[in-house]
Amino acid sequence: DARVTQTPRDKVTEMGQEVTMRCQPILGHNTVFWYRQTMMQGLELLAYFRNRAPLDDSGMPKDRFSAEMPDATLATLKIQPSEPRDSAVYFCASGSGGAGTEAFFGQGTRLTVV
Amino acid sequence: DAKTTQPPSMDCAEGRAANLPCNHSTISGNEYVYWYRQIHSQGPQYIIHGLKNNETNEMASLIITEDRKSSTLILPHATLRDTAVYYCTHAGGTSYGKLTFGQGTILTVHP
């Protein structure tokens, strides 16, 4: 059963600490998306990659957030330093990259910054 | 960004068809209509998508009007497990994952 895997599922950290969230896209998918969901803002696109290259990260706060794909099986989203306003559920999604195809979401990482 | 209008909530009896409408009057010619749902803050689950023809899969059917400005998602035999927030959105070509979700429709399926 192919699925997007995200780790950790839950993370509680103190303000100022570095946080790294990981995503394993579905095998063979070449496009990866990072989303953030909060009660106030709903689901927001932060960044996305195709063939490991960043295509759009305009939704991401540049000063503290960074996203990378070290290889085709791993995408990372880092926050340094973390702040309480970063508390949210972060979702990764992947797709095969073709026009009109669909993206599949992982179960998310629930981040709480205290 | 995609602009869609959906009713905030709907109810449906178990075993009956659930018909969820969506208005997407700003859709562009190359954009597909996508439907996702989200249960209890789990990750959004893909349901179905289409360009202009009606589509059907094992989960649902999608009816798109001829002018493509609106669509209806049909769950033919709703179950209690279909209770969720349903999102309609549209995206084009290879930007299929650049999804903008509005508030969606909270569908409650009653026994």
pLDDT in tens, B33-53: 999 999 987 999 999 999 998
pLDDT over threshold 70, residue B1: no
Set of chain A residues whose Cβ sits within 8 Å of the Cβ of B41: 37, 89, 108
Q: How far B100 CA sits from the closest chain A CA (Å)?
A: 7
Cβ within 8 Å of B, A 10-49: 31, 33, 37, 42-43, 45, 48
Which residues 6+ apart lie within 8 Å of A74 measured at CB? A22, A23, A24
Element (H, E) at B36: strand B31-38
Set of chain A residues whose Cβ sits within 8 Å of the Cβ of B93: 99-100
Which residues 6+ apart lie within 8 Å of A88 measured at CB? A36, A37, A38, A111
Q: Is the peptide bond before A25 cis (omega within 30 degrees of 0)?
A: no
Give the confidence band of A42 by pLDDT, cuts at 50, 70, 90: confident
In whole angstroms, how far apart are CA A8 and each of A19, A70, A87, A110? 10, 18, 14, 8
CB of B74 less than 8 A from some CB of A: no
Q: Give the C-alpha separation, A26 to A9, whole Å.
A: 17
Q: Tell me what pLDDT residue B29 has.
A: 85
Q: What is the mean pLDDT of residues A55-76?
A: 92
Burial class (CB in 10 A: 0-12, 13-18, 19+), A97: middle
Q: What is the mean pLDDT of residues B12-24?
A: 97
- CB atoms A102 and B46 under 8 Å: yes
CB of B106 less than 8 A from some CB of A: no
Which range, of A2-6, A78-82, A90-94, B25-29, averages the lowest pLDDT?
Answer: B25-29
- The DSSP output letter for B102 is -
Q: Tell me what pLDDT residue B30 has.
A: 86
**Among all chains, which residue has been given the structure tokens 């999608």?**
B62
Mean pLDDT of chain A: 93
Q: Tell me what pLDDT residue A93 has.
A: 95
Q: Give residue-wise pLDDT tens across range A74-110.
A: 999 999 999 999 999 999 999 986 777 889 999 999 9
Higher-pLDDT residue of B1, A19: A19
Q: Tell me what pLDDT residue A72 has.
A: 92
Best mutation target, B53, B94, B106, to test chain A (most A CBs within 10 A): B94
- CB atoms A43 and B101 under 8 Å: yes
Q: Give residue-wise pLDDT tens across range B52-96.
A: 989 999 999 999 999 999 999 999 999 999 999 999 999 887 677
